């Protein structure tokens, strides 16, 4: 019995790791590796014979200008959603971390977009942004600020070359649905900062802005890094908003890579070229992931 105890204590770190690691390997890593393999084949459900075609799928995808447009859309969508969402979430979390009347109420209320099923989110925002039924347009017209309804989801004129009204619209919808998640993560991080540190800074005469940048932000860094990286990856892979609100349209102005993969695989039954786009997505997102990993693993060496 004592031996067992010793054994358990010695291998505790590994015992703690294993269940999660095994689950992730079987359920996530293995299927992902399988996708990479598929990207070198011409697998199509309509064709019983599958053969390896080398880099053909990649050459085909990258020589199509539409792929590049989609990559650009995806990056713009992910980066802007994340940047706006994170700054907004930080701002709100910082205010919610103060003591004031009704704090519980606000905290609960701001979570609401997060627990709204994606299907509902898209249905309600479609209504809010449709040219005909939009209450926003209705209000602005009644106030006389505009004389023609704004075409939030239908105006395809480019703005600054890489943006368009529909893309901006789906980014705003996305910020609405992702900021509560970041807010909760930041808030939880802020609450684990020892109160003495903040008090000490206050005594030293730091104002609230200085306190935020000198104490809160640095202390939050581990939490910020992790949640931003993962949220960034998820937004890069985000499928729901574009697919459910605009189906990638109009004129592909909101087409993102995840929707492309979905249509290739599940509608066109071309698993090979769907997998190719998946791998391209992985290669792009690998860059920030490696930077994060390097930092994480180096940090760990220092301890």
Partner 1 sequence: MNKRSRRILNGIRHWAVMIFTTIFVLFPFYWMVLTSLKPREELMASPPVWIPSFLDFNNYKLVWEQMPLLRYLGNSLFVSLMTTIVCLVLATFCGYSISRFVIRKPQKITTVMMILSQLIPGTLPFISFYFIMYNAGLTNTYQGLVIAYSVWAIPFCTLMMKSYFSQSVPIALEESATLDGCSKFGIFFRIAIPISVPGLVATSIFAFIQGWNEFMWASVMLSNNDMKPASVGIYDFIGQYGANSNISMSMTAAVMITLPAIIFFAFLQKYLISGLSAGAVKG
Partner 2 sequence: MKNSKKILSALLAVSMLSTFAACGQDDKPANDGSGSAGGDTGDLSGKTITFTMQKYGNDASAQDKVLKEMTEAFKEETGITVNYSIIDWGQALTKLTLACTGGEAPDVADAYFTSSFVTIGQGKYGPADVTNVFEELGGEDAYFEAAIDEVKIDGKIYGIPWRMDTRAMIYNKAHFEEAGITEVPTTYDELIEVAKKLTKTDANGNITRSGAVLPVGDARFDQGWFSFLAGHGTSVMNEDYTEFTFGGQEGIDAIQFMLDLINVHKVCTANVIDPSFNSSTEYQAEKASIVLGANADFMTALEANAPQLVDVTGSAVMPSLTGEGPSSVVFSAPICIMNSTKERAAAEEWLKYFCSKEGQIKFCSSVNLINSRKDVMEDEFYSSDFMKTYPEQAERAIYGDPAIPTWSQIDAFPNGPLNTMLTNIVGGADIQTEVDNCLKQVQEIYDKGEVDLG
Q: How far is the CB of 111 from partner 1 (least distance, A)?
A: 5
Among 1, 20, 46, 195, binds partner 2 (CB under 8 A): 46
β-bridge mates for residue 159, sequence order: 163
Nearer to partner 2, 169 or 227 (CB): 169
Asked whether position 126 contacts partner 2 by CB under 8 A, the answer is: yes
271 binds, among partner 1, partner 2, none (CB under 5 to 8 A by kind): partner 1
Residue 255 partner contact from partner 2, partner 1, none using kind-dependent CB cut-offs of 5 to 8 Å? partner 2
163 pairs with which residues across the strands? 159
Please identify, using beta-carbon distances, which residue of 79 and 91 lies nearer to partner 1. 91
**Which residue's CB is nearer to partner 2, number 236 or number 271?**
271
Q: Does 260 bind partner 2 (CB under 8 A)?
A: yes
Question: Mask 47-76, x = binds partner 2 (CB under 8 A)?
Answer: xxx---------------------------
The one of partner 2, partner 1, none whose footprint includes residue 171, by CB under 5 to 8 A per kind, is none
| Tokens (6 digits) for 286 | 């690998």
Quick one: what does residue 58 bind among partner 1, partner 2, none, with the CB cut-off 5 to 8 Å set by partner type? Answer: none
Comparison of 163 and 284: residue with beta carbon closer to partner 1: 284
Cross-strand bridge partners of residue 47: 44
Q: Considering the complex, what minimum distance in angstroms separates the CB of residue 246 from partner 1?
A: 13
Which option in partner 1, partner 2, none does residue 251 bind, with CB closer than 5 to 8 A by kind? partner 2
Spell out, one character per residue from 261 to 290, where the chain touches partner 2: x when CB under 8 A holds, - when not. Answer: --x--xxxxx--------------------
Number of residues engaging partner 2 in binding (CB under 8 A): 38
SS3 per-residue string spanning the chain: CHHHHHHHHHHHHHHHHHHHHHHHHHHHHHHHHHHHHHCCECCECCECCCCECCCHHHHHHHCCHHHHHHHHHHHHHHHHHHHHHHHHHHHHHHHHCCCCCCHHHHHHHHCHHHHCCHHHHHHHHHHHHCCCCCHHHHHHHHHCCCCCCCCCCCCCCEECCCEEHHHHHHHHHHHHHHHHHHHHHHHHHHHCCCHHHHHHHHHCCCCHHHHHHHHHHHHHHHHHHHHHHHHHHHHHCCCHHHHHHHCCCCCCCCCCHHHHHHHHHHHCCCHHHHHHHHHHHHHHHHHHHHHHHHHHHHHHHHC
The footprint of partner 2 (CB under 8 A) covers: 44-49, 119, 126-127, 129-133, 147-148, 151-154, 156, 166, 245-252, 255, 260, 263, 266-270
């Amino acid at each position: 019995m004592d031996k067992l105890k010793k054994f358990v204590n010695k291998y505790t770190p590994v015992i703690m790791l294993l269940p999660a690691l095994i689950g992730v390997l079987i359920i996530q890593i293995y299927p992902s590796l399988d996708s990479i393999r598929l990207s070198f084949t011409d697998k199509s459900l309509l064709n019983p014979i599958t053969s390896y075609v080398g880099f053909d799928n990649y050459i085909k995808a990258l020589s199509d200008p539409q792929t590049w447009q989609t990559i650009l859309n995806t990056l713009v969508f992910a980066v802007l959603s994340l940047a706006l969402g994170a700054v907004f979430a930080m701002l709100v979390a910082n205010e919610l971390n103060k003591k004031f009347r009704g704090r519980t109420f606000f905290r609960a209320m701001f979570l609401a977009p997060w627990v709204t099923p994606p299907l509902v989110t898209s249905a309600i925002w479609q209504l809010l942004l449709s040219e005909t039924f939009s209450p926003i347009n209705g209000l602005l017209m009644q106030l006389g600020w505009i004389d023609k309804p704004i075409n939030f989801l239908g105006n395809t004129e480019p703005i600054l070359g890489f943006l368009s009204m529909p893309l901006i619209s789906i980014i705003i919808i996305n910020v609405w649905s992702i900021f509560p998640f970041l807010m909760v993560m930041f808030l939880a991080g802020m609450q684990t900062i020892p109160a003495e540190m903040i008090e000490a800074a206050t005594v030293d005469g730091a104002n609230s802005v200085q306190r935020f940048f000198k104490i809160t932000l640095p202390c939050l860094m581990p939490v910020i890094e992790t949640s931003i990286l993962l949220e960034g990856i998820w937004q890069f892979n985000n499928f729901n908003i574009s697919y459910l609100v605009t189906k990638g349209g109009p004129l592909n102005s909101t087409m993102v890579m995840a929707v492309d993969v979905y249509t290739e695989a599940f509608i066109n039954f071309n698993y090979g070229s769907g997998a190719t786009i998946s791998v391209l997505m992985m290669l792009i997102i690998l860059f920030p992931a490696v930077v994060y990993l390097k930092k994480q693993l180096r940090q760990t060496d220092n301890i």
